[in-house]
A and B are shown apart, each in its own frame.
Chain A
C-alpha cells in the first residue's frame, strides 16, 4: 500500500485477555519497528525487524510481549494476559534501508485494558 497500515485502530479488552496487533509496512521496506507511546510521553522502543529476523528485542517489557514478521511484510505484536499498564498507543514504523533511513509511521492502535 501507499503507507504503513495498522489494525485495529482501537482495541478495548479486559485485563487478562490476549490481544494481537497487526502492521502492514510499506511494500519493499525491509526494516520494521514497534513502539509504544503512553499518553503525553515519548516513543518507547519495543522491537526491530530486519527482514523476518529480530536482531533487537531489547525493548519488549516482559515475556508477555512477543512479535513476529513473515514474508518480510506483515508483522503482528501479541500481548498475552494484558494488564492495565499495557494501555497505550502501539505504533508501527517501517524504513527502506534498515537503520539508516527515516521512519514512516502507521496511525497506531489505541489499546485500552479495562
Chain B
C-alpha cells in the first residue's frame, strides 16, 4: 500500500538548524515534494527531488534516498516566520501519478 510518515510536531530555536524526516512506501515512486503551509494559508512549493542526493536552495535543503524510502527537509538559520506545517508528498505511478500526502509536521520556532 501507500504510506507517508512524518513527525506530527517539532520544536526548534531561532537561529538553529532543524531536520524534518519523511519516510514513504509507494508502488511506483516518481518524485517527492516538500510544501510549506502557514496556518490558515495555502501550501506553497519548497522543493522537489526525484534523484538521490541533496538539493540546496538558500536556507532550505532537501535530501532523498530512494533505496531507503526516505527524505528530509533541512532548515538552517531558523527564523520565527519558519513556524509552519511542512508537508511531504510523493508522486506515485501506481496511483496515476497523483500526489500522496503526508499529514504534515508542525514546526514551532521559539526565540
Contacts and interface: CB of A to CB of B under 8 A. Distances in A.
Interface of A: 4, 35, 40-45, 48, 55-56, 91, 99-100, 102-108
18 contacts: A4-B42, A42-B87, A42-B103, A43-B99, A43-B101, A45-B98, A45-B101, A56-B98, A91-B42, A91-B43, A99-B96, A99-B97, A99-B98, A102-B33, A102-B45, A105-B44, A107-B41, A108-B42
Nearest to B100: A45
A45 B101 CA distance: 9
Nearest to A45: B98
A56 B45 contact: no
Nearest to A102: B45
B48 A102 contact: yes
A56 B98 CA distance: 9
A104 B35 CA distance: 10
Contacts of A99: 91, 96-98
B64 to A, nearest CB: 16
A41 to B, nearest CB: 6
For the complex of A and B, 5 pairs with smallest distance between CB atoms: A105-B42, A99-B97, A42-B103, A43-B101, A42-B101
A107 B42 contact: yes
A102 B96 CA distance: 15
B97 A100 contact: yes
Contacts of A48: 98
Contacts of A55: 96
Given A103-B45, A108-B42, A42 B96 contact: no
